[in-house]
A and B are shown apart, each in its own frame.
Chain A
């Protein structure tokens, strides 16, 4: 039998973090008392009309532009009809055949540095439904005593991004989604919190013989609330489909749910799937016709995005893929890093920001860009280290002081007398003493146990409260011990 390959496409719902809802003036909220952010419009009282939130349109355009989508010169809203208590009008205002953003493409980078190119089918604007909570034993609808509706969420602006079935593995799917999320964060359009549901992803999963141009029957894996679960869920569903096909069965087109606790896949009842949404153009709204000059302006405002940024950090600054990935986690972090690296060695900057700085700030619950360690102070410290003014261990001490007080690193060095001792004469005296006092270690070093050099450096640091220039100490120890050795063995 021909080997099978996975074919995966995703639909991502992104809640836009606008001030107000998609079609009314209610403020968005998360965690406020239920039904406190509602009005006649989002509760669908008789006679109300929707009005498009211009900021939501702007953000949808920004997303489309960042994904390289064609921007529709004229797009319209449709009504998607279905009865459910989370939908006050019994129709969702969405987009159907003419979305605001058409075809585009997104390139992600895999861990090994290779490119993952995913076609974007469309990105359209719509409104979120209200939040249903099923009260009862299971927290699921089946078996619930009753359900309650919170319309605070109803009408939140959403952008739905749909990809082509271009993904070939669960890992690629997760990689794509992580980097898409990062990109959206850089655009500042959404909080993109999977846990809070401001970013939700459904995956369409199918198998087909490798090389076949025909798509297999797909199932839709619903609403994963983390990338990890999504990756596991896709793998579990692929495995389930493989087994069905291996045993001669046929995959049914259905919606399935992944149970993270058990790792099992459950089909949702197919009755819920027999919807005919009776889409038709929303007569209460006029077409969206964005001014081309406005679109151009938005295109120019798009910041450098994480994927190209990563490439630049690796290519131009010589960082590792891992450093680049970590530093492009958020726009704030990468901005911080680039400011530091502008006047310090980029690799050292990456190491310190990822390592010592993060470790010291963690206890205080601060992020670098909010801390006392401004990019200028961080790069000043790195320069003091680079030119030998401070030793590595003193630098950590200086950093701790900067973190605590916001003092300038050079001032801290001076005030605390942390300047590195690189004076050869002063160090030579200390080294001579160490060599004389530690004959065993001298012997080991002579015997070729080079690691013992660390012992001497440590002792020198101890003697100088960490201010000794470690490299100078090494050089001096070698000179003293090996010259001596030469004397003994040479004749």
Chain B
């Protein structure tokens, strides 16, 4: 067994016991990144990582995350490390500050080894919208890793890092986690500070962990949650995140969202999810059908609200204060040429959609109406949770799809998030765990809970993980 095969929890145990040094651990993972077969990273700062590893080794300090390598989605600001959000608009941009969540993990001993590939400004579900390169799915290199946090998911799956950070607006952690056969969690909106997360849609964006085990995801989450004075929407956390240990689901009621098990869900995906739900009953839980009538309106709602917010969030990229700038003779050309040249097509599409949706005369019809549907979805979830403890559904309607399969059809691409978006609109926590294979490719099970129910979700996910015994090692990697 190589150091790369250790989970973060195992690595911490090895480090604490003095059986391995942080530098050895970091080097082993840097080697894996160096022989990268999936192109998960946009930037690797080996020197910075080694330097920190040496510091930790020399200090003898017993930090809780004791020198374990971490990959960070390129949407998260890390001081002095090139941070592009997958866009040419920020090519070569070195931030002046570090995102709160990253700073907290670094303070706890985590070592950032690099920045992972993503769809440009987190807009996409395959990472094909990256301005720089495609990231391949470790389970089948002809297929996408999902997105937008595709690099973070693939790097964990390919054992280049034990864990990583992603961001999830409509499914950007959960969907690539599902497609790459790893654990991915989007916490309650407000659980983790967004300060330093390059905004896509502010009312939906959340940072969250990728890991190969539920326990590792819990550990990473534990060190990020809580109020940050720099983010007014961050929340005081009611109880510490606990590392789950339960093996039973006795007394737990799991609601299966009927609307997300029907048409549009691949049969192989449905079969794997149903098989996982059967294990719920084996573990003492109860499975009941639940209806969320507005769930399928989530997609349309999302594609009004998220573009509207992004049209404002991305307006600051004008080439004046930072980033590349087009040659122009006057102000209007400066704006148009810079934005025309350095934004990719999907980003432009969403900015235009959002600008239109907010235009005077259309506001009520689009933005106002979408907000009302969002409220309806919030209420439907609330009433569902009066009867069940968690809700279950597929994370993605399909397994990983081939490159180019959906790039010509934005709507087909948008459908990849049909199961994850309603949860995002309601601001609720959800976790995706690998629950089986369909055609040799991983299938994700999404478990969602009420706000602040992270500990409950982690407990349920952990119990199921034990029962499912999914092998996260992609077959290609085993050889």
Contacts and interface: CB of A to CB of B under 8 A. Distances in A.
Contact of A47 (B197, B229, B359, B363): B197
Contact of A46 (B85, B230, B355, B363): B85
B199 A47 contact: yes
Top-7 shortest CB links A-B: A90-B315, A283-B203, A278-B358, A283-B202, A44-B316, A46-B198, A47-B77
B316 A88 contact: yes
Contact of B95 (A47, A85, A91): A47
A81 B313 CA distance: 10
A46 B315 contact: no
B232 A284 contact: yes
B230 A47 contact: no
Contact of B359 (A44, A48, A85, A278): A278
Given A43-B321, A49-B232, A284-B232, A89 B95 contact: no
7 contacts: A45-B77, A46-B316, A47-B196, A52-B232, A90-B315, A276-B359, A284-B199
Interface string B376-418: 0000000000000000000000000000000000000000000
A181 interface: no
A85 B195 contact: no
B232 A46 contact: no
B241 to A, nearest CB: 23
A49 B230 contact: yes
A47 B195 contact: yes
A79 interface: yes
* Interface size bracket, B side: 35 or more
B315 A91 contact: yes
A280 B335 contact: no
Contact of B229 (A46, A50, A51, A276): A51
B91 to A, nearest CB: 12
Chain A interface helix/strand/loop/mixed? loop
A91 B232 contact: no
B77 A49 contact: no
Contacts of B363: 278-280
B358 A284 contact: no
B76 A47 contact: yes
Contacts of A369: none
Interface of A: 40, 43-52, 79, 81, 83, 85, 88-91, 276-280, 283-286
Nearest to B87: A46
A49 B195 contact: yes
A135 B359 CA distance: 34
Contacts of A51: 229-232
Give the interface centre of A43, A85, A280 by most chain B CB atoms within 10 Å. A280
B316 A89 contact: yes
A51 B194 CA distance: 12
B322 interface: yes
B367 interface: yes
A436 B344 CA distance: 109
A93 to B, nearest CB: 10
A284 B315 CA distance: 15
Given A91-B315, A280-B308, A50 B198 contact: no
B90 interface: yes
Contacts of A43: 321
Given A90-B315, A283-B203, A81 B358 contact: yes
Give the interface centre of A46, A48, A51, A286 by most chain B CB atoms within 10 Å. A46
B96 interface: yes
Contacts of A40: 95-97
B315 to A, nearest CB: 3
A45 B95 contact: yes
Contact of A90 (B77, B197, B312): B312
Interface in B190-212: 194-199, 201-203
Contact of A83 (B203, B309, B335): B335
B148 interface: no
B275 to A, nearest CB: 39
B194 A49 contact: yes
A81 B233 contact: no
Nearest to A52: B232
B180 interface: no
A286 B231 CA distance: 10
Interface string B210-233: 000000000000000000011111
A246 B73 CA distance: 67
A45 B90 contact: no
Contacts of B469: none
Contact of A280 (B99, B198, B358): B358
Contacts of B358: 81, 278-280
B191 to A, nearest CB: 15
Given A81-B315, A280-B358, A46 B93 contact: yes
Contact of B331 (A81, A85, A278): A85
A285 B309 contact: no
Give the interface centre of B75, B202, B359 by most chain A CB atoms within 10 Å. B202
Contacts of B203: 283
Contacts of A46: 77, 83, 85, 90, 93, 95, 198-199, 316
B2 interface: no
B332 to A, nearest CB: 9
Contacts of A284: 199, 202, 232-233
